[in-house]
Amino acid sequence: MGQLESLSREQLLSPDDQRIWDHVYSGRTPGGGPYAVLMHSPKMAEHFSNVENYFRNSGKLDPVDKELIILTIARAMDVRYPWSRHEIRARQLGMRAEALETLRANAPLDALNDHERLIVEMTSALLHDRKMSDEMFARARAELGDERLVEAVGLVAHYNFISMVARTFDLDAPPGIATF
């Protein structure tokens, strides 16, 4: 890893921090990715883990839409670690290959269907402009409804943070994994 060493559970001094480790890594590979960095601040890592677990397990967004959002951000920020993990998940969920390859290539959005295009354009607008136009907001609200729209905005914010961690601390894809 780049600028910070990965901590092990045993390096965390307090029993409370070790409990946090166990919670954060429940369902994740210990010692890798953004949480390897975030565990330098265990309580903060726990809060971000709880948010991420909400999106994984409780959110109302369609799973493919979640992956479209995450991959759009990972590609826009050129972060290979999140891309590598979420490309696998996107394929498992049945994301259309044309959508995945469009994002990978930073290609024009012509191969996307209307729904995919809206998700990608909305994510890009939030990432780059920090807002949506009134017209895009109306389209997104009509397409997603209020609850899923709020979740989509929250997911963009969360993965903007995760991608920033990956960039700042030079997290790369695991060896042998092709990204973009």
Per-residue confidence at 174, pLDDT binned at 50, 70, 90? confident
Is the model's pLDDT at 163 over the cut of 80?
yes
Sign of CA dihedral 62, 63, 66, 67: negative
Superfamily for domain range 63-168: AhpD-like (1.20.1290.10)
Is the model's pLDDT at 132 over the cut of 80?
yes
Tokens of 5: 């060493």
Q: Which residues, in sequence order, are CB contacts of 97 under 8 Å at separation 6+?
A: none
pLDDT tens-place string over residues 40-95: 999 999 999 999 999 999 999 999 999 999 999 999 999 999 999 999 999 999 99
**Domain locations along the chain:** 9-57, 63-168
